[in-house]
Amino acid sequence: MLKIFLTHYAKNKLSVAAAIVILLFSGAAIFCPLITPYDPDEIDLAQIYQPPSAEHLFGTDMNGRDVFTRVLYGARISMSVGFISSGLAGLIGVLIGALAGFFGGRIDNLLMRLVDLILCIPSFFLLLMVIAMLEPNIYNVMIVIALTSWPGLARMVRAEVLSVRERDFVQAAIALGIGRWRIIWRHIIPNVMAPVFVAITLGVAAAILVESGLSFLGLGVQPPTPSWGNILAQGRSVMQFAWWMTVFPGLAIFITVLGYNLIGEGLRDALDPRLH
């Protein structure tokens, strides 16, 4: 199965290239202490607003800190938020969608009305409303993004479960008296995970954008902890003479989000049997 999947995925050259770029970004984020000699919070007032050079590849900021180093360490924060919040949203969405689709009736009505209630509120307004009630830090940002991202995935999983529930092997398991929870975990969920993997991958890109936006507004990761969003915010007032403070973190966000979207498209094509 894995070999077949990789064969189909490799047909999409853009997705393969995107996966390589994301792996390189992830590796650089993990091993950044080995890549750059600078501390992301080290202040050097003799080096403020230095343009890109061999010594400082992405220049320096208002405190003389190396922007390349801060972008690498910021990748740890932004990509971690993307992975964890999208994973949590996927977990909640799969559980709610599977329960609603399999049991139906009142459980389905109750859970889907909850989904409708959350979806009817503009997502960014909901994010701002919830984050305003919590302390702005990386953990609360992850929780807020996850809690506002799962409803769409739950609705998708419910639709898949309604289809899988009617298949012969599920009906046979029900007729044999196998417990409902065992049927859900062993027969239902494994057969609805292909679109879920795609949705979670695309969700990582969306979560990175949301975290960057919140941090840019001062409602996400707080300085001096580097995040792509707060690095952008620090550079917006000096764009005329220190363009590197916004261009390089902006490029990091653009390339990463584009990469995850392309990977998601590749997964969708590779996992869709109708395309093979």
* Residues across the chain: 276
Higher-scoring residue by pLDDT: 57, 130:
57
User: Can you give the pLDDT at residue 144?
Assistant: 87
Burial of 102 (0-12, 13-18, 19+ CB in 10 A): buried
Q: What pTM, to 2 d.p., does this model score?
A: 0.90
* pLDDT reading at 156 higher than 90: yes
Question: How confident is the model at residue 276, as a pLDDT?
Answer: 56
State residue 170's pLDDT score. 85
pLDDT bin (cut points 50, 70, 90) of residue 274 is low
pLDDT of residue 17: 95
Q: In this model, does residue 3 exceed pLDDT 90?
A: no
- At residue 90, the pLDDT reads 95
Residue 165 has what pLDDT?
86
pLDDT at residue 275, rounded to an integer: 57
**pLDDT (tens digit, 9 = 90+) per residue, 29-44?**
999 999 999 999 989 9
Crossing angle of helices 193-216/67-103, nearest 10°?
140
Backbone angles phi, psi at 188, to 5 degrees: -85, -60
Q: Which has the higher per-residue pLDDT, 214 or 273?
A: 214
- 7 exposure class (CB count in 10 Å sphere: 0-12, 13-18, 19+): exposed
**Each residue of 246-266: pLDDT tens digit?**
999 999 999 999 999 999 999
Average pLDDT, the chain: 89
Q: Phi, psi at residue 233, to the nearest 5°?
A: -60, -40
Least Cα distance to 73 among 22, 35, 19 occurs for: 35
pLDDT band with cut points at 50, 70 and 90 for residue 1: low
- pLDDT digits over 120-151, tens only? 887 777 777 777 787 778 888 898 899 889 99
Query: Domain boundaries in the chain?
Result: 2-275
pLDDT digits (tens, 9 = 90+) for 183-239: 888 888 888 888 999 999 999 999 999 999 989 988 888 888 899 999 999 998 898
3-state DSSP assignment of residue 60: strand
Backbone angles phi, psi at 60, to 5 degrees: -130, 165
The CATH number of 2-275, from 1.10.1740.10, 1.10.10.10, 1.10.3720.10, 1.10.8.10, is 1.10.3720.10
